[in-house]
């Protein structure tokens, strides 16, 4: 029996019973959040919440003010253009040039209701580009909802644990997954959620070559664009640029989030960027589903129109103002990344001091950077068992098993771990270790 838990076991168990969760460790992020809310209400103890990747910083005032101005001007009266307001499309195109070093026409710069709508639309169209090709390959670990989306659309989910196939191993591992010709799309995040690994330019070239060889669509998830603090990104159209598969192939879409980099999650406005060549490609099979053979038209006038017929009018003006400030050097959004990096470095030190280990700690041949997420494990615990046990200590995270990872452990997010709560994290982990001593090695 635990002796040092800040929350009585009876309260935690009563909350679990109330939610009906049979396996707390395997619960979804939203299910964990609901369970925490119940426990906090009954115990009066605040959790150290690391389960959900919610921005922990205030949104830039320039976006908020731009939305107010747009609403005052009456945009709420009008339907927004499905392909986006011109001001936003212009700034997205500039942003891609400045941060990634790739030129994309404004036509292919599309707003979406969060990047999850962008991935859903891309999966939908990709699954109908070629007859009989209905599989999506995920370079795991990854964001669990992407695989959920593919399953919702009736697509086969294939998985490749990228951590075991880095560097020279990647080409062979990819070919083994793609050889049967049934994969229509491939998705990965860079930096990676949950490990914070970053694919390098050589690996992206391998992915690009595979996309060209097999005529498949690459979805590059930039939820944390340019937030690898190991590289001093300029953001002004000069190198170093955010590494991207678009440097090697045009058979790719970019999913760029405003949630983490700009702390604009609540407005549900993301960016889906389609390079010119891919926008213009024709796939006869698409006409029967979307009324258009051209990829860009099928995506915009078919999938995105069918999903929501546009994105919040005022939110588009808010994001446009933020991007304009970035593009003109007036707002350096990477200060956000620096804040999260500092939190991660301190939290890692505390976890390791109390017997935890980092599940993923290297990026091919160099140490991982410190960022929005990190991964941890504890001797004698599976990831799911560790999630459940930490609840009694008022600490929440998600199991790596939910991300497609082969390794056991947890994903921890630092967005809700400001500096002032680090001493409390230290105390609670000390209590956890006292109740679960690390076996001494021989």
Helix (H), strand (E), coil (C) string for 289-355? HHCCCEHHHHHHHHHHHHHHCCCCHHHHHHHHHHHHHHHCCCCCCHHHHHHHHHHHHHHHHHHHHCC
At 439 the pLDDT is 74
Peptide bond before residue 160 is cis, with ω within 30 degrees of 0: no
Contact call for residues 274 and 108 (beta carbons, < 8 A) = yes
Residue spans of the chain under pLDDT 50: 1
In this structure, are residues 426 and 414 in contact, taking their beta carbons and an 8 Å threshold? no
What is the predicted pLDDT for the residue at 441? 61
* Domain 61-327 fold: 3.40.640
The confidence score (pLDDT) of residue 1 equals: 47
CATH of domain 9-57+334-435: 3.90.1150.100
Task: Cite the residue boundaries of each domain of the chain with CATH code 3.40.640.10.
Answer: 61-327
Residue ranges of the chain that CATH labels 3.90.1150.100: 9-57+334-435
The predicted model scores a pTM of 0.93
């Amino acid at each position: 029996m635990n002796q040092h838990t800040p929350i009585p076991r009876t309260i935690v168990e009563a909350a679990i019973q109330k939610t009906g969760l049979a396996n707390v460790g395997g619960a979804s992020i939203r299910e964990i959040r609901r369970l925490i809310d119940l426990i906090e209400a009954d115990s009066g103890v605040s959790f150290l919440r690391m389960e959900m990747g919610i921005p922990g910083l205030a949104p830039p005032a320039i976006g908020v003010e731009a939305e107010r101005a747009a609403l005052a001007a009456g945009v709420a009266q009008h339907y927004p253009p499905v392909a986006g307001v011109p001001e936003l499309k212009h700034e997205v195109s500039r942003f891609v040039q400045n941060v990634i070093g790739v030129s994309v026409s404004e036509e292919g710069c599309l707003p979406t209701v969060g990047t999850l709508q962008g991935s859903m639309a891309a999966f939908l169209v990709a699954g109908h580009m070629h007859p009989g090709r209905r599989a999506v390959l995920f370079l795991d670990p990854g964001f669990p909802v992407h695989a959920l989306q593919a399953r919702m659309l009736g697509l086969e989910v294939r998985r490749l644990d990228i951590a075991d196939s880095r560097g020279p191993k990647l080409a062979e591992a990819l070919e083994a997954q793609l050889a049967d010709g049934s994969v229509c799309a491939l998705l990965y995040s860079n930096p990676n959620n949950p490990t914070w690994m970053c694919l390098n330019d050589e690996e992206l070239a391998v992915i690009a070559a595979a996309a060209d060889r097999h005529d498949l669509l690459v979805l590059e998830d930039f939820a944390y664009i340019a937030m690898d603090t190991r590289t001093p990104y300029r953001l002004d159209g000069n190198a170093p640029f955010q590494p991207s598969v678009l440097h090697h192939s045009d058979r790719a879409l970019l999913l760029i989030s405003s949630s983490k980099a700009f702390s604009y999650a609540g407005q549900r406005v993301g960016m889906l960027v389609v390079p010119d060549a891919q926008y213009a490609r024709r796939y006869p099979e698409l006409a029967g589903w979307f009324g258009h053979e051209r990829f860009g038209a099928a995506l915009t006038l078919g999938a995105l129109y069918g999903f929501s017929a546009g994105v919040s009018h005022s939110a588009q003006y808010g994001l446009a103002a933020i991007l304009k400030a970035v593009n003109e050097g007036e707002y350096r959004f990477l200060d956000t990344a620096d804040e999260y990096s500092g939190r991660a470095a301190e939290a890692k030190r505390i976890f390791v001091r109390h017997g935890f280990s980092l599940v993923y700690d290297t990026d091919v041949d160099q140490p991982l950077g410190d960022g929005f997420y990190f991964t941890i494990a504890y001797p004698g615990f599976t990831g799911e068992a560790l999630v459940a046990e930490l609840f009694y200590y008022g600490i929440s995270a998600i199991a790596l098993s939910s991300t497609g990872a082969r390794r056991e452990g947890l994903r921890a997010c630092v967005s809700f771990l400001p500096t002032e709560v680090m001493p409390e994290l230290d105390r609670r982990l000390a209590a956890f270790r006292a109740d679960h001593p690390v076996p001494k090695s021989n």
